[in-house]
């Protein structure tokens, strides 16, 4: 009597498992499973396109304000540099004037320095 041997197949790394082979990848949707559903790639493209449109619209609204702010900052920078130059010139003028006074009256300068030194010493005790 001829008998047929039944062979049992165990899943190996070479043979795909039947329960896994037909499953979709995680995070993906296929139109064959749900004809009304969109793929995740299409959804992502719509989201990205919407974000780009929103950013472009915001940038368009902000550009004139940024330009005005930049002009004001440049003006303020220029004014600050002018004032700093003016103060530097005034300070140099005071130093020149004091230097000339000391050269003209050296004894008076020594007397004023001595009086200021004694006053500061008395205050700090």
Question: What tens digit of pLDDT does each residue of 56-71 get?
Answer: 999 899 999 999 999 9
pLDDT of residue 37: 54
In Å, how far are 84, 101, 105, 106 from 92, measured between CA atoms?
12, 14, 20, 20
Domain span holding position 92 = 42-124
Q: What is the 3-state composition of the chain as percent helix, strand, coil, each rounded to the nearest 5? A: 70, 0, 30
Highest mean pLDDT out of 14-23, 56-65, 74-83: 74-83
Beta-carbon contacts of 101 under 8 Å, excluding residues fewer than 6 positions away, are: 109
Residue 58 lies in a domain: yes
pLDDT for position 40: 86
Q: Classify residue 61: in a domain, yes or no.
A: yes
The pLDDT of 91-110, averaged and rounded, is 94
Percentage of residues of the chain with pLDDT beyond 70: 70
Domain count, the chain: 1
Decide if 119 is inside a domain: yes
The answer to whether residue 1 is domain-embedded is no
Asked if the structure places residue 5 within a domain, the reply is: no
Intra-chain end-to-end CA distance of the chain, in Å: 127
Question: Per the domain annotation, does 8 fall within a domain?
Answer: no
**What is the longest distance spanned by two Cα atoms in the chain?**
142
Per-residue model confidence (pLDDT) at position 119: 95
- Tell me, yes or no, whether 19 lies in a domain: no
């Amino acid at each position: 009597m001829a008998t047929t041997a039944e062979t049992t197949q165990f899943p190996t790394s070479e043979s795909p498992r039947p329960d896994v082979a037909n499953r979709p990848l995680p995070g993906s949707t296929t139109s064959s499973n749900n004809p009304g559903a969109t793929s995740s790639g299409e959804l992502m493209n719509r989201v990205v396109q919407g974000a780009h449109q929103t950013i472009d619209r915001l940038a368009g609204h902000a550009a004139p304000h940024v330009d005005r702010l930049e002009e004001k900052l440049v003006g303020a920078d220029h004014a600050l540099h002018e004032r700093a130059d003016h103060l530097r010139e005034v300070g140099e003028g005071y130093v020149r004037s004091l230097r000339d006074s000391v050269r003209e009256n050296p004894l008076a300068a020594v007397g004023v320095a001595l009086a200021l030194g004694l006053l500061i010493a008395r205050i700090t005790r």
